[in-house]
Amino acid sequence: MRAGVIFVSDLADMNLLDRVHTIKINLYGSLALTGAGHMTPQALLGGLEGDDCETVDPPSVPVRFEQIKEAKKLHLGKNLFKTLGADVDGKPVTEGKVINFDYDADLKWMFGQVLPHHSNGIRMSVFDVEGEMLATNDYYSVGGGFVVNGALATPSSPTSNPEPPSPDASQPPSDPSAVSAHPIDWGENVFYKHIRRSDAEGGRRAGSSPLVENLLPQVEAASSTTSLSAPSPPHTPEKLTAPPPTSGGQAFPFHNAASLLRQCKTRNLTIAQVVYENELTWNRPEVVHDKLVKIWTTMDECIRAGVESGEKTLPGPLAVRRRAPALYARLLKGVYRGAALPGATATGGGQSRSEGPGIDSPPPQSATAGSGSLDLISPITASARPRIIGSFNHPITPCPPRRTNFPAIDYLTCYAIATNEQNAAGGRIVTAPTNGAAGVLPAVLKYCFEFIFDDDPVRDLTNFLLTAAAIGMLFKRGATLSAAEGGCMAEVGVATAMAAAGFVAVLGGGPDKILQASVIGIEHNLGLTCDPLNGQVQIPCIERNALGAVKAVTAAQLALAGDGKHSVSLDDAITAMRETARDMHTSYKETSLGGLATAVKVPVAIPDC
């Protein structure tokens, strides 16, 4: 969706939108092989109509998709004014342009072909009424909701002999630089996540370097397309050491785990405090707070929708049964439906609806006997209290040490399954760090709200999210968040490491133990394949998120039980992940060409995973 809205925004900025008569879209690599199951066309066409993933009404997307297919009309930029706002005169950026669009003819699945730079490639080209190419561009979905903007090419660009692509837009110009309106923009939408670079804060417009270190080359850059059928040759890639990025005015810049730990120790700050201070480079404190609350609220509403869904099965030919509502109903204490009342059945009957805990909720009370929970809020004596690392003269105060025996672990799996069932159904989720792994962090964080947080949930929420974000940044820079590059270890593996780090932070662990928990979280996911059945993010993805949440808590417990010293550093683990990703066969990188995707003979309908 973001790639589509970037493309149509560029067309509007170049005054080309009104001249567009037709559009051709090609999907390459993993997007071609699993895009249908991932609902890629629905999202892409929504983006071309100007929808934004953070504000669009999710149920409207599949409805509008069917309307486009039936009417064979696409309204380019129809909602762009909602995303980009008005111009200096207060008028909408554009009212859009209705064009003919035959879904079966104008959107092609380029099976077995990969664009340079990344397996998740999209090529979009627009033509005028005479059939002349107006503009073409490649976009790369590199994981985590980030889009790399390719070299936008137009015949009107300064050039001696422009060579437009073929009408089917399957091949780029032989010399893209000769017809380029702007060069490939590695920083675009990666370092600031805006549609327009000009809308970003000044320090975020340039990125850190002309290269993106985490993009793992799967093809030679000199070739426009490469077959996916040939196995990846075994090799041992050289160890890359990325140079420190330009800070852009950040208070405490870091580019790997070692530099992050050094900032914490030399400044006596927690990891969350370091990230918070850096965020203040671009946002006021209240903006940072509001965005964190929005992230949590979206996660919480997603879980609620998942456990309360009345749908029996998930979309798609697999007809996978929704399990979160039944799992939740079996739990005696329903967070969203209120505490179990006398006489209430295991299915939730007799329960009264009440609001679940949130930012403004009172602290949870100690569980009563027979509830299946333990009292987690017993005080720690002063003599046994360990030293707390971090500054107390800071808006983000460190979390106190807490006990590490955790009840009701079934809630973790229920929350994770609920989130990923919503993802499979096209609901709104938080990409954390990816859509396919979006259940791990919300499950662990929701569990914290129910069983860990006490007197200051705002402090705890902030520490959890900012700490997890720091770990995600390290994986994004040093390895990858894309299953098309690194299999599921880039998704659930990274999510597990992030959630483990956040969990340790809210339990009062210092930076050393936080990094150790992240190492444990990723170590035992190295080599994890991405081989979804039928290309849909359902089997084994939904259950895998539940296991990732449990593994995150276990990793946190192991780290907290130690002394913070470990043989493998997080930087070493990230290097191992990057090298493992490069050596993995493409069959196990979100292509559904191997593993479970081919071993399992899926019937028309199955009861569950």
Question: Where are the chain's structural domains?
Answer: 2-204, 277-335+386-599
The pLDDT of residue 332 is: 55
Query: In the numeric block, which tokens belong to residue 443?
Result: 């499950």
Contact 368, 339 (CB under 8 A): no
Q: Of 537, 534, 545, which is closest to residue 599 (Cα–Cα)?
A: 534
- Decide if 483 contacts 491 (C-beta within 8 A): yes
**Closest C-alpha among 124, 23, 122, 38 to residue 75:** 23
Tell me the three state secondary structure of residue 123: strand
- Report the first-to-last Cα separation within the chain, whole angstroms: 29
435 Rama class: left (phi>0) / alpha (psi -120 to 50) / beta: alpha
In terms of Cα–Cα distance, which of 5, 35, 19, 227 is closest to 137? Answer: 5
Stated length of the chain: 609
> Using CA of residue 386, residue 389, residue 392, residue 393, what is the dihedral sign?
positive
**Helix and strand tally (H, E) in the chain?**
19, 11
Tokens standing for 276? 């918070």
- Closest to 577 (Cα-Cα) out of 500, 492, 499, 479: 479
Beta strand 107-110 with 22-28 is parallel
Spatial distance between the Cα atoms of 434 and 485, rounded to a whole number of angstroms: 13
- Check if the beta carbon of residue 474 is closer than 8 Å to that of residue 574: yes
State how far the Cα of 17 lies from the Cα of 11, in Å rounded to an integer. 5
The pLDDT value recorded for residue 353 is 35
pLDDT recorded at residue 377 = 34
Coil, strand or helix at 338: strand
Tell me which architecture the domain covering 2-204 has in CATH: 2-Layer Sandwich (3.30)
**How far apart are the C-alpha atoms of 449 and 397, rounded to whole Å?**
18
Q: Is 103 exposed, middle or buried (0-12, 13-18, 19+ CB in 10 A)?
A: middle
∠ CA(265), CA(270), CA(271), 5° rounding?
A: 100
Residues 6+ apart with CB under 8 A from 563: none
What is the mean pLDDT of each successive set of 10 residues along the chain, which is 609 residues long?
Answer: 90 90 94 86 93 89 94 92 61 79 95 87 94 92 82 57 42 44 56 62 51 38 43 36 50 95 96 96 93 97 96 92 93 50 36 39 38 34 60 86 72 96 95 95 95 89 97 94 94 98 96 97 96 91 97 96 88 97 93 91 55
Our measurement of the distance from residue 282's CA atom to the centroid of its chain's CA atoms, rounded to an integer in Å, reads 21
What was the pLDDT predicted at 603? 62
E strands, 103-185, are 107-110, 113-114, 121-127, 133-141, 147-149, 152-153, 180-182
